């Protein structure tokens, strides 16, 4: 494609040589340590995180991700994903009190697993800086600000930590939302968290939460929503624009559309389990032109389709994707989405191609 002079300049700048992150040698492998350029400030807070995090939704889960099975082999795979993430320069993890819990018919709580992994890792590498984000479940029987603090303390107990970097409201409550926001502010003031955020919040709710916290001098750092190349509703319903306007970081869950953007699924090979009812053969047929172009662009950078799909989000600056890693191979591949950048032309081209297919949302259905 012919480039105009200005586009050519942008292309050259975006393809400039990027200094590699510093390698730290150990006795059995080489791990990378994020430098300042690998970090991004979360909203208006003082918290800095790597430009890509790891989602731990599948850890301990048996209702959606692991085909109703959980065993020692899968737990070891999650542990290897945790270690490989850090070794690849990704140092923060997103979990929630409901992941893997009895509320989601799980085998073991994701927070419990993450806490165990951190403890084991710190014994061997005490110098590692690991950040944790977890979430409060706005269950109907939870009322008022104290319920947030009580749930947070339970999460800290499972994580075996004194505090976490980011605490989020997992979804808006049926009632009591003002109290929940007050609870977030209390958590900051009590030193239990460094930053607070929300998840699955609409533009209206986002603005209300932002104003309520601002009165106490506390920034609303993030809004975690479903966002990927094939689910761009946050661009259409005002959520992303509001995040950009107010300086709130958008954390993107399901950034590779639960595996669909990796290219491994085709009309003849649809996902197993509940995802097969969402990402059908018909939908995957419509998606092929986009997937083919993602692959072509990736070949130009020596990157995989997964890495291109993640970089598409990273290239928008105010977005941090958190793909879920179930094993070391996935975690290592995710690390390859860092340290380079798609051009603006490529970002726009992929968005245009993606717009030709109807957005599909995976489980659970989030009402934005």
Q: Which residues are catalytic?
A: 99
Looking at residue 162, the DSSP 8-state letter turns out to be: S
Residues 166, 181: contact at Cβ < 8 Å? Answer: no
Q: 304, 307, 261: which is closest to 283 by C-alpha?
A: 261
What are the CB-based long-range contacts (under 8 Å, 24+) for 271-276? 272/67, 273/64, 273/65, 273/67, 274/64, 274/363, 275/362, 275/363
Residue 60 in 3-state DSSP? coil
Please state, in angstroms and rounded to a whole number, the distance separating the CA atoms of residues 91 and 235. 28
321: which 2 tokens? 């994707």
Residues 239, 200: contact at Cβ < 8 Å? Answer: no
Residues 47, 40: contact at Cβ < 8 Å? Answer: no
């Amino acid at each position: 494609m012919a480039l105009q002079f200005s586009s050519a300049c942008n292309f050259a700048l975006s393809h400039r040589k990027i200094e590699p992150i510093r390698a730290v040698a150990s006795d059995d492998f080489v791990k990378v340590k994020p430098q300042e350029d690998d970090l991004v400030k979360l909203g208006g807070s003082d918290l800095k995180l790597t430009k890509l995090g790891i989602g731990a939704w599948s850890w301990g889960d048996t209702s959606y991700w692991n085909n109703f099975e959980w065993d020692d082999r899968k737990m070891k795979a999650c542990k290897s994903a945790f270690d490989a993430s850090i070794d690849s320069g990704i140092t923060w993890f997103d979990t929630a009190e409901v992941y893997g819990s009895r509320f989601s018919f799980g085998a073991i709580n994701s927070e419990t697993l993450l806490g165990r992994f951190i403890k084991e890792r710190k014994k061997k590498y005490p110098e590692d800086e690991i950040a944790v984000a977890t979430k409060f479940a706005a269950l109907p029987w939870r009322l008022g600000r104290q319920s947030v603090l009580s749930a947070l303390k339970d999460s800290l107990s499972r994580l075996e930590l004194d505090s976490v970097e980011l605490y989020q409201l997992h979804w808006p409550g049926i009632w009591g939302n003002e109290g929940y926001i007050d609870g977030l502010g209390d958590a900051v003031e009590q030193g239990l968290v460094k930053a607070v955020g929300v998840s699955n919040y609409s533009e209206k709710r986002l603005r209300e939460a932002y104003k309520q916290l601002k009165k106490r001098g506390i920034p609303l750092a993030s809004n975690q929503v479903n966002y990927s190349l094939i689910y761009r509703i946050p661009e259409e319903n005002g959520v992303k624009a509001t995040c950009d306007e107010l300086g709130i970081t958008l954390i993107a869950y399901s950034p590779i559309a639960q595996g669909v953007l990796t290219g491994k699924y085709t009309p003849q090979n649809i996902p197993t389990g509940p995802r097969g009812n969402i990402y059908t053969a018909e939908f995957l047929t419509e998606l092929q032109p986009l997937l083919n172009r993602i692959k072509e662009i990736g070949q130009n950078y020596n990157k995989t389709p997964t890495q291109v799909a993640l970089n598409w989000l990273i290239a928008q600056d105010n977005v941090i994707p958190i793909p879920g890693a179930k094993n070391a191979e996935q975690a290592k591949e995710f690390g390859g989405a860092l340290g380079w950048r798609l051009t603006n032309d490529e970002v726009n081209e992929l968005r245009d191609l993606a717009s030709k297919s109807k957005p599909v949302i995976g489980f659970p259905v989030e009402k934005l």
